[in-house]
Amino acid sequence: MEVTRRQFFKICASGLGGSSIAMMGFSPTPALAEVRSFKLARATETRNMCPYCSVSCGVLIYSSGDKSKNAKADIIHIEGDPDNPVNRGSLCPKGAGLLDMVKSPNRVKFPEVREPGSNEWKRISWDDAISRIAKHMKADRDANFMLQNKDGVTVNRWPTTGFLASSAACNEAGYLTVKTLRALGVTALDTQARI
Amino acid sequence: MALQSLDIARSSATTTPPPSVRQTTEVAKLIDVSTCIGCKACQAACMEWNDIREEIGTCSGVYDNPTNLTENSWTVMRFAEVEEAGKLEWLIRKDGCMHCADPGCLKACPAPGAILQYANGIVDFQEEYCIGCGYCVTGCPFNIPRISQKDGKAYKCTLCSDRVAVGQAPACIKSCPTGALQFGSKEQMRDYAEHRVVDLKERGFKEAGIYDPQGVGGTHVMYVLHHADRPQLYNGLPADPGISPLVHLWKGFAKPLATVAMAAVALGSLYHYVTKGPNEVSKELEDELEKEDAL
């Protein structure tokens, strides 16, 4: 762009004039500043438990929306549950980053099976998964159940299947777990809380 | 909504006094270095709450991760290995904005309303008004603000002003599993810190003390240090931080002079226009120049 001497003076004068006017307080004032609004104000709060380790810290999961019919909820934030006696609101770095585990592209979201001899994971339905596990358990129990030990004492043992119980379960759920598994004869019963 | 709960005490590049009738409790964060295990839950919680994510970096051979504050990491744990009386000490300090009572960033900032200090003591950046000049970085005695590569604006810890505004503790404080981070009124935090100092002294740390530097008018993020006599042991925490004299010179002394100079130029131009008028070319000179052009 070519600027003549005269144009150059005009540019200078208007620039100086404009900035002087702004300095004298004629500039548009910025709108009043505000802190970022609290993002959980009307989010839905759901109690849950951190799935990582056996400490099982309580967490509050916040999802967008109020559960109304047409609003599809999405988890927007997770923080510690202050009412949970285990962690009283605090979390470890993994727990504090739980949101990214929920959103992780690598998270397994449905049951998958790798058939014997195959190297591929195949998606199956929950119904299929549960009946498949039940069938395997039944077959194993039928084949290996011990009514008596070698001295002829009745033991009713199922020694070939183990069970790892949840550490996040409450006393009542723990009681039911033991009751069910002992009824089946399972001897190798443990909980993640002990590991 | 925000203005009722967070009155503005000071605003950058603004001389109009803010409303100041309401009396707000001053808040403070206390970082007890002696009970911190360096787990970085605070770092994770900070990113999660503030919707920022650090890029995945590389291991630099030490535990510092990321190795420095960035526009995405408003707090980082700094690990220092020092030998004290023949014994190795692993000093872990959570670094981040100190929320000074006399903030150097706010003093240096030329953009009106880009940096605010609330009456409760929080110093907050308003990115909408930030012009990305980086003066806050120069003005800060703790080297905290970072300019984003993405939008050219300055970012730092807000002390979760959005959470504090609704009566909640900042995200880092809530997550801390050892209780090394505490939050409350500044008075409460000082009381708690003094109790910690007594405990540390009983355990043999004779120089234990509170870090609340008066050079910046005190801070709303305080440390309990085992070696309060030498804060620089904790990865270069300044012993006596203060705002650079250049900021005072530039913003205090030079600014009114520049205004006067600008006004003088404007007045001088007007005077010149009135007395001399526009620069006119005489008819003879014009003819002469035209003849020269024709040749």
Residues B264 and B177 in one domain: no
Residues B184 and B267 in one domain: no
pLDDT band (50, 70, 90) for residue B15:
confident
List the end-to-end C-alpha distance of chain B, in Å, as a whole number.
76
Which has the higher per-residue pLDDT, B108 or B2? B108
Q: State residue B4's pLDDT score.
A: 46
Give per-residue pLDDT as tens, B118-144: 999 999 999 999 999 999 999 999 999
pLDDT band (50, 70, 90) for residue A166:
confident
What percentage of chain A carries pLDDT values higher than 90?
66
pLDDT band (50, 70, 90) for residue B200:
very high
Range of the domain at B252: 248-294
pLDDT of A130 higher than 90: yes
Indicate the number of domains in chain B.
Answer: 2
By CA distance, what is B7's nearest residue in A?
Answer: A34
Residues B184 and B77 in one domain: yes
Give per-residue pLDDT as tens, A85-122: 999 999 999 999 999 999 999 999 999 999 999 999 99
Kindly report whether the peptide bond that precedes residue B66 is cis, defined as omega within 30 degrees of 0.
yes
Q: Per-residue pLDDT averaged across A30-40, rounded?
A: 71
Question: Beta partners for B147?
Answer: B154
pLDDT of B223 higher than 70: yes
d(CA B11, CA B107): 9
Q: Per-residue pLDDT averaged across A33-38, rounded?
A: 73
- Closest Cα to residue B118, out of B197, B190, B43, B18? B18
Q: State residue B2's pLDDT score.
A: 42
pLDDT of B152 higher than 50: yes
pLDDT of B283 higher than 50: yes
Contacts of B269 in chain A (CB under 8 A): 13, 16
pLDDT band (50, 70, 90) for residue B7:
confident
Residues B238 and B263 in one domain: no
d(CA B151, CA A9): 34
Q: State residue B1's pLDDT score.
A: 36
pLDDT of A188 higher than 80: yes
**Residue B210, domain CATH:** 3.30.70.20
A80 and B124 within 8 Å at the Cβ level: the answer is: no
Q: State residue A23's pLDDT score.
A: 63
pLDDT of A195 higher than 70: no
**What is the pTM (predicted TM-score) of this model?**
0.82
Residues B136 and B201 in one domain: yes
Contacts of A87 in chain B (CB under 8 A): 177
Give per-residue pLDDT as tens, B104-115: 999 999 999 899
Residues B275 and B256 in one domain: yes
Residues B8 and B72 in one domain: yes
Which residue is listed with tokens 């979390």?
A91
Q: Which of B228, B243, B258 is the last residue of a domain?
A: B243
Q: State residue A192's pLDDT score.
A: 81
d(CA B209, CA B187): 16
Q: State residue A184's pLDDT score.
A: 94
Q: State residue A33's pLDDT score.
A: 52
d(CA A43, CA A54): 28
Interchain CB contacts (distance < 8 Å): A and B: 94
Question: All domains of chain A, ordered by start, with CATH?
Answer: 44-102 (3.30.200.210), 127-194 (no CATH)
Residues B48 and B186 in one domain: yes
**Helices and strands (H, E) in chain B, number of each type:** 10, 11
Q: Per-residue pLDDT averaged across B131-158, rounded?
A: 95
Taking the Cβ of residue B10 and every Cβ of chain A, the question of whether any pair is shorter than 8 Å is answered with no
Residues B155 and B183 in one domain: yes
- Closest Cα to residue B23, out of B120, B117, B114? B120
Three-class secondary structure of residue A14 per DSSP:
helix
d(CA B149, CA A151): 77
User: Using CA atoms in the order B287, B289, B292, B294, what is the torsion angle rounded to 10 degrees?
Assistant: -60
d(CA B238, CA B228): 11
Nearest to A93 among B2, B39, B263 (CB): B39
Nearest to A35 among B11, B113, B165 (CB): B165
Q: State residue B3's pLDDT score.
A: 44
What percentage of chain B carries pLDDT values higher than 90?
74
Residues B150 and B263 in one domain: no
Contacts of A30 in chain B (CB under 8 A): 112-113, 128-129
Q: Which of B210, B227, B243 is the last residue of a domain?
A: B243
Give per-residue pLDDT as tens, A44-83: 999 999 988 888 899 999 999 888 899 899 999 999 999 9
Cα A166 versus chain centre, distance:
16
B11 and A97 within 8 Å at the Cβ level: the answer is: no
| CB neighbour list of residue B238: distance below 8 Å, 6 or more residues apart | B141, B142, B213, B231, B232
B162 and A93 within 8 Å at the Cβ level: the answer is: no
Q: State residue A193's pLDDT score.
A: 77
Contacts of A17 in chain B (CB under 8 A): 266
Q: Which residue blocks in A39-106 are alpha helix, DSSP H?
A: 93-96, 98-102
Q: State residue A139's pLDDT score.
A: 97
Residues B32 and B138 in one domain: yes
Residues B154 and B263 in one domain: no
Q: Per-residue pLDDT averaged across A3-15, rounded?
A: 82
A103/chain B closest Cα distance in angstroms: 12
What percentage of chain A carries pLDDT values higher than 70?
90
Which has the higher per-residue pLDDT, A37 or B175? B175
Give per-residue pLDDT as tens, A17-34: 777 666 665 555 554 556
Q: Which of B224, B243, B262 is the last residue of a domain?
A: B243
Q: Per-residue pLDDT averaged across B243-267, rounded?
A: 88
